[in-house]
Amino acid sequence: MAEDFAIDVKGMTKRFDKRTVVNNIDLQVRSGEIYGFLGPNGSGKTTFIRMLCGLLHADAGSGTCLGHDVIRDSESIKRQVGYMTQRFSFYEDLSIAENLDFVARMYGKKNRQEAVQQSIEQLGLSGREKQLAGQLSGGWKQRMALAACLIHKPKLLLLDEPTAGVDPKARRDFWEQIHLLAAQGLTFLITTHYMDEAERCHRLAYISYGNLLIHGTVSEVIEHVGLTTWSVHGPNLIQLAEKLRQQPGVEQAVAFGTMLHVSGDNAAALEQAIAPFRSGNYQWEQIPSGLEDVFIHLMEKSKDNFSS
C-alpha cells in the first residue's frame, strides 16, 4: 500500500531573473506529520512554501499537494491549505471575533458565526473575543492567526516562522496546540530558526541558498552529518576559542554558557588540534553533537547564491 503523503513533490524550482532561489527540491511530508523546514534567511524556504500553496508559480517541478497537481490545481490546493505568514496581517482596530468573521466571509463559510466560535474555542481565545487585535501580545496574536488559518477546516497548515518574537512560554503553548492538531490528522510544514522548535518536529529538512542539503529525523540528521563535538570548561574561554579557531580540524568553537563546544567533521584532525590545549586548567569531554552544532556546520559549508 502506498504511503499517504500530504506533500509529494519533485524537482521544484523557482528563479527570479538569473538567480535560482529554489533549486530542484524533492520533498515528501506524510499526512498528520509536523515537518520542520530550516535554513538561513534568504535560503528559499518562504518561496518554496508559496509555490506549494499556489501563491507562486514554479518554473519547474511536479507532484501533488493534498492529492492535487501542484502545478495545475493551485486553486483546489488553496481551498484546503492554511498559510500563516511571518507578519501579523490582520486588522488591528478590529476585535478577534471581527477579524475571524472577516476571514470566514472570504472563504464563503455558510455558518460563519458557528465557524468563528469553534475556532475561538479550539485555540483557547474564549473570553477575549471582543479584545482588539492591536492590543494583543505577540503570543495571543499568533494564536489568533492560527485560529484564522483553521476557519475553513484545512488539511495542511504552512506556517512561516510562526513564533518569531514570541516569548518562550507563548511559544511552548503554541507548539502544544500544534501537536494536538497534528494528533487529529492535520499536517504541518513549519519554518523556524529555533532549534528547540526543530526538535519538536517529527522530521526536518535543511535548505540553504535554494538547495536541500539534508532531511530526516533529528537523530538521522545529526548522525548523517558526522560531526564530532567536545565541550571544554576552564578559564579565559574567549581567548581559548580564538586560538582554537585557527587550528586545522576545528570548524567551530562556540560559547554555550560556561563552556565551549568545539566541533569538526574529522574526528582525528579535531583531536590532534585540541591536544595542545588539554592541560590541567581545562576539562575536556567528548559530547553528542547537538542540532545547533550541525546546522551551523551546514551553514558554513554552504555557498551563497545571491549573485549566481
CATH 2.60.40.1180 corresponds to the domain 228-288 = no
So what's the pLDDT on residue 135? 92
Spatial contact of 188 and 154, defined as CB atoms under 8 Å apart: no
Amino acid identity, position 280: G
Does the structure show a pLDDT above 70 at 3? no
Q: Is the pLDDT of residue 2 over 60?
A: no
Same fold yes or no, 5-222 and 228-288:
no
Task: Label residue 225 left, alpha or beta by phi (over 0 means left) and psi (-120 to 50 means alpha).
Answer: alpha
Q: Of the CATH numbers 3.40.50.300, 3.60.15.10, 3.30.420.40, 3.40.50.150, which one belongs to the domain with range 5-222?
A: 3.40.50.300
Q: What is the pLDDT of residue 305?
A: 52
What's the confidence (pLDDT) of residue 272? 95
Q: 307 vs 104, which has greater pLDDT? A: 104
Q: Output the CA–CA distances (angstroms, integers) from residue 307 to 17, 20, 23, 301, in the order listed.
A: 11, 10, 15, 17
- Report the pLDDT value the prediction gives residue 307, as an integer from 0 to 100: 46
Mean local confidence (pLDDT), 151-174: 88
Mean pLDDT over 63-67 rounds to 93
Q: Could you tell me the residue ranges of all domains in the chain? A: 5-222, 228-288
Give the least confident one: 1-15, 70-84, 283-297.
1-15
pLDDT tens-digit series, residues 11-42: 999 999 888 999 999 999 999 999 999 988 88
| pLDDT greater than 50 at residue 1 | no
Per the prediction, the chain carries an average pLDDT of: 90
Judged against a pLDDT cut of 60, whether residue 306 lies above it is answered with no
